[in-house]
Amino acid sequence: MITTTALVSMLSITLVQAQEIKGETVVASVSATATVTSINQKTREVTIKTDDGVEHSFVASQDVKNLAQVKKGDIITVKYTEALAYQVRKHGTASGVETTEAAAAAKAGAKPAGAVAQQTSVTVTITAIDPTIPTVTFMGPKGNTKTIKVQDPQKLVGVKVGDLVDLTYTEAIAVKVDPAPKK
């Protein structure tokens, strides 16, 4: 089975092992399931019912290669995961924005399954710190600035204006179809 965890691992965040680096990764995931209530293979229209009883219809694109394997009663599971990692470092150079993508799909003839992931990394420079609120202001590679509230003021200990922060944002979504439960 293809999972978002595998794709997030494929796009793993590189951590520099230097003592001056402070960092953290925050990960969140959400899953949903639905049951196929009808499917028209000619028009590719699929109707599903979520666990709360709401029905949704959509037309599966040609990217869904194994639609012929989907039957009424099959269970569709979707999992979305996102992660934000940061590392503060005292020296080095700022880099531009770098984006990496990955995708995977089920083998021909199998139940449809697939996953896509994207990871974006950028280095920003700390231009201001207000420990009373507490907030940190960053300047990006294009000169744009952003001020954010710091949830844990202890994270600011030892952090100074001019420090670099490597930010990596990863998001992935995986979809799989399982056969209808046996009765």
10 Å Cβ neighbour count for 153?
Answer: 11
Cβ neighbours of residue 72 under 8 Å, at least 6 residues apart? 36, 37, 38, 39, 180
Cβ neighbours of residue 49 under 8 Å, at least 6 residues apart? 34, 35, 37, 55, 56
Q: Which residue has the higher pLDDT, 96 or 127?
A: 127
What is the C-alpha R_g of the chain? 22
**pTM as predicted:** 0.74
Question: What are the beta bridge partners of residue 176?
Answer: 77, 113
Indicate the average pLDDT of the chain. Answer: 87
23, 88 in Cβ contact below 8 A? yes
Give pLDDT, residue 152. Answer: 87
Q: Using pLDDT thresholds of 50, 70 and 90, give the confidence band for residue 21.
A: low
Q: What are phi and psi of 21, to 5 degrees?
A: -90, 135
Give pLDDT, residue 95. Answer: 76
Helix (H) / strand (E) element for 89: namely strand 75-89
What distance in Å separates the CA atoms of residue 74 and residue 51, rounded to the nearest whole number? 13
112 prior amide bond cis, ω within 30: no
Q: Which whole number is the average pLDDT over 101-116?
A: 93
10 Å Cβ neighbour count for 48?
Answer: 19
Lookup result for tokens 């012929």: 68
Q: Which residue has the higher pLDDT, 43 or 109?
A: 43
158, 144 in Cβ contact below 8 A? no
What distance in Å separates the CA atoms of residue 57 and residue 38, rounded to the nearest whole number? 9
